[in-house]
Structure 1
Amino acid sequence: MTSGTNQRPAPGAPDFRVEEHVTLGSTNTACFDRARAGDTGRLWVRAEEQTEGRGRRGRDWSSPGGNLFASLLLVAPEPANRIGELPLVAAVALAEAVDKALGTLQLVQLKWPNDLLVEGAKLSGILLEAEALADGRQAVVIGFGVNCVSHPELSLYQATDLRSLGFQVSAERLFEFLAASLAEKLTVWAQPGGFDDIRRGWLKRAAHLGNRITVRTAQEELSGIFADLDARGHLVLKQDDGRLRTLYAGDVFLPGV
């Protein structure tokens, strides 16, 4: 792996570039640094190790060597009014990349909105962040962390890694499949009605669909049946009184967890 700011075409996605490092604080942070410096986007930043990785809601993300840490910078992505769908686009792309890299068929399930699970244990994290640039454009960064050879002990969830599951794949090899898969899914997403295809792909892998779940949002905790995803990828919860509630963000748990 190169170090510094050398860039090359991304594997399997020649319209994207990749910048590779041995160690970084955070690949998401590095992407925003490039955007503020004038990068036009479609840039991957990858590191062998992160020292300041972070997850959703500001949680720490364990980032030891051997696992995959990569973030994609998009500048002024279109359609801008549908950026909220990108976490699900990313999840479907990563799930398909894992299958292609391992030669498996639907190994992973998806827990709303974008966690990959294998036998109920968390395999990866995806973090989408956005920032308005000085020129008025929006920088969007999609960060991926995948447990290839090790996994942390998490307080909220059980975790796993590919090596523990019996699969041998390097972070570099998995990234090649991810770069190609996400480029393909972003092209689909940008087309009129393209998210319909992404949504169907997500639902095919949906964990807990039709089952009772608890959703913890920043404001409240709700329980009910995971009924569906709406047309924009939001979770539709059927509450005990029969009413449907659409949730735009939150953490999903099984009852008793």
Structure 2
Amino acid sequence: MSDQPHERPAPGAPDFRVEEHESVGSTNSLCFDRARGGHSGNLWIRAGMQTEGRGRRGRDWESPSGNLFASLLLIDPQPSERIGELPLAAAVALADAVDKAAGTLQLVSLKWPNDLLVDGAKLSGILLEAEILSDGRQAVVLGFGVNCVSHPPLSLYPATDLRSLGFQVSAERLFDVLPGILADLLAAWRQPGGFGTIRRSWLSRAAHLGKPITVKTAQEDISGIFADLDERGHLVLKQDDGRQRTIYAGDVFLSGN
């Protein structure tokens, strides 16, 4: 992989390009650099390692060599009012890509909104970030971090990696299948009612559906039963008094953990 910007067709996704690097600060940040420079989007940026990787809510994301670090730049993805559904679509695509690369069926479950788990341990994270550019375009970046050969000792949640689970899946192998699967899912998402199919796929892998959970939001901790996803992908929590509450953002934990 070269440290000079050079694009090639993304594997399995002829309408997308990929730029590869040995090491970058953050693939998400580099996507925004390309967007600010006028790039038209549909660009993957992949790195062998990151020195400034980040997760949701500004947390650090450890990025050692051998794991997958890749981000996708989209410009003005439509329908724009449904961009909040994209992290769930990305999680379904990544879960399907792991199955395809590892030769498994439903290996991973999904923790709302977009973490991949195996037996309760975190295998990957997905970070969506967006920015309105100076020319009025909207840049949306989906960043993927997958533990292929190693995993960090996360304090909030136990972690795992594919090698520890007995699967010899390299970052290269996983990236060979991810762009094509995500491109197909994005095409489906753009159709009227397209999120409905994605929502059903997400729920089929839901880790905590029907279980007591606590959602830690920026304002409070809320407990109840994970009852459903609404039509926009928000978490629907059934509280002890029987009322349902819709959660738009937060970290999910099994109650008692």
Q: How would you bin the TM-score normalised by the shorter chain?
A: over 0.9
User: Following superposition of structure 1 onto structure 2, how do residues 105-116 of structure 1 map, counting pairs within 5 Å?
Assistant: 105-116=105-116
Residue aligning to 2:232: 232
* d(CA) in 2 for partners of 1:187, 1:218: 33
Give 1:240 shift.
Answer: 0.4
- Which residue matches 1:47? 47
- Alpha-carbon separation, structure 1, partners of 2:162 and 2:3: 26
Residue 139 of structure 2: aligned partner: 139
Q: Give, in whole Å, the separation in 1 of the partners of 2:182 and 2:146.
A: 15
Structure 2: distance between partners of 1:205 and 1:218:
26
Q: Please give the TM-score of this superposition, normalised by the length of structure 2.
A: 0.99
Question: What residue number does 2:4 align with?
Answer: 4
Distance 1:210 1:119 in 2: 17
Equivalent in the alignment of 1:251: 251
Letter matched to residue 71 of structure 1: S
Q: C-alpha deviations, 1:143-184, integer Å up to 9, x for none?
A: 000000000000100000000000001101101111111101
What's the CA shift string for 1:55-110, capped at 9, x where partnerless? 00000000000000000000011000100000000000000000000110000000
1:253 counterpart SS class: strand
Unaligned runs of 5+ in 2: none
* Distance (Å, rounded) in 1 between the aligned partners of 2:110 and 2:252: 11
CA distance in 2 between counterparts of 1:177 and 1:239 reads 40
Counterparts of residues 53-92 of structure 1 (less than 5 Å): 53-92=53-92
Equivalent position of 2:211 in the other structure = 211
CA distance, structure 1, for counterparts of residue 117 and residue 201 of structure 2? 15
Q: What RMSD in Å do the two structures reach over aligned CA positions?
A: 0.5
1-side partners of 2:169 and 2:121: how far apart? 18
- Alpha-carbon offset, residue 225 of structure 1: 0.2
TM-score (norm 1): 0.99
User: Equivalents in 1 of 2:215, 2:41: separation in Å?
Assistant: 34
**5+ residue gaps, structure 1:** none
Identical-residue share of aligned pairs (%): 77
- Work out whether 1:102 is the aligned partner of 2:95: no
- Name the counterpart of 2:36: 36
Q: SS in structure 2 opposite 1:63? A: coil
Letter in 1 for 2:116: L
Paired with 2:74 and 2:197, the residues of 1 have a C-alpha distance of: 21
The alpha carbon displacement at 1:255 in A equals 1.4
SS across alignment from 1:116: strand
Moved over 2 A (4+): none
Determine helix, strand or coil for the equivalent of 1:52.
coil
Q: 2:168 maps to what in 1?
A: 168
Please report how far the alpha carbon of residue 3 of structure 1 lies from its aligned counterpart in structure 2 after TM superposition.
2.6
Alpha-carbon separation, structure 1, partners of 2:104 and 2:46 = 25
Aligned mates of 1:255, 1:210 — CA distance in 2: 12
User: Structure 1: how far apart are the matches of 2:169 and 2:237?
Assistant: 37
Number of residues paired by the alignment? 257
